[in-house]
Amino acid sequence: MPTKSQLIAAPLLAFATVAAATPAAATGEVIRIQRNPQAIILEAARVNAGADTIYVSGQLPSPLDPTMPMSAVTSIEQMGDTRQQTISTLAKIKDILETQGFTMADVVKLTLMVAADPRTGAMDFAGANAGYREFFGTAENPTTVARSTFQVAALVGPHYLIEIEAIAARAPTE
């Protein structure tokens, strides 16, 4: 019959053996998991402890006319369709990231909240994807990101069709 010490030691030895066989992740490493290279989104992103990470709050698009203040917008035509609003919103995220020393290639996760276009009564998923493809999986930025897309009943104003949150991570710079 095993002693109490042997009963405690056996599981610890098994754990130590598994831990030793598992490659250690580098501190601050960011791993993109993509088993299908044709997919436009990642399956997952692993961000190890020590990575430099930024969480970008939900961003909304700007009017098509950059000189027009949001308070002057009176129609959805002044904001554009879902594709145009996605491009505008991702451009804002790109600008925020750049002010903090990040790039769009550092983005690991996006959350898209898409409202139905009042002109069609439906969410334009294809338009959101078309806008997304202007920033990810391009010659300038070949990376893709883990992503979730939700259809929402409405956003904060009747002319908004999309809101996007972002998480970017990279190995720390020394």
pLDDT tens by residue, 98-115:
999 999 999 999 999 999
Residue 103 · residue 97 · CB < 8 Å: yes
Give the tens place of pLDDT for each residue, 162-174. Answer: 999 999 999 988 6
Q: Kindly state whether residue 1 falls inside one of the protein's structural domains.
A: no
* Structure token pair of residue 157: 């104003």
Amino acid at residue number 104: M
The predicted structure's pLDDT at residue 26 = 76
Q: Kindly state whether residue 13 falls inside one of the protein's structural domains.
A: no
Domain holding 120: CATH number? 3.30.1330.40
Q: Considering just the CA atoms, what is the radius of gyration of the chain in Å?
A: 22
Q: What is the spatial order of strands in the sheet that 107-115 belongs to?
A: 52-59, 162-170, 107-115, 146-152
Give the tens place of pLDDT for each residue, 14-25. Answer: 434 333 334 556
The predicted structure's pLDDT at residue 136 = 97
Q: Kindly state whether residue 2 falls inside one of the protein's structural domains.
A: no
Report how many domains make up the chain: 1
| Structural domain for 91, as ranges | 26-170
Q: Kindly state whether residue 30 falls inside one of the protein's structural domains.
A: yes
Closest CA to 94 of 11, 2, 164, 174: 164
Q: Kindly state whether residue 17 falls inside one of the protein's structural domains.
A: no
Beta strands in 103-145 (DSSP E): 107-115
pTM of the entire structure?
A: 0.82
Q: Kindly state whether residue 89 falls inside one of the protein's structural domains.
A: yes
The predicted structure's pLDDT at residue 27 = 80
Q: Kindly state whether residue 114 falls inside one of the protein's structural domains.
A: yes
The predicted structure's pLDDT at residue 5 = 52
Cα(7)–Cα(122) distance, rounded to whole angstroms? 61
3-state secondary structure 145-157: CEEEEEEECCCCC
Q: Kindly state whether residue 12 falls inside one of the protein's structural domains.
A: no
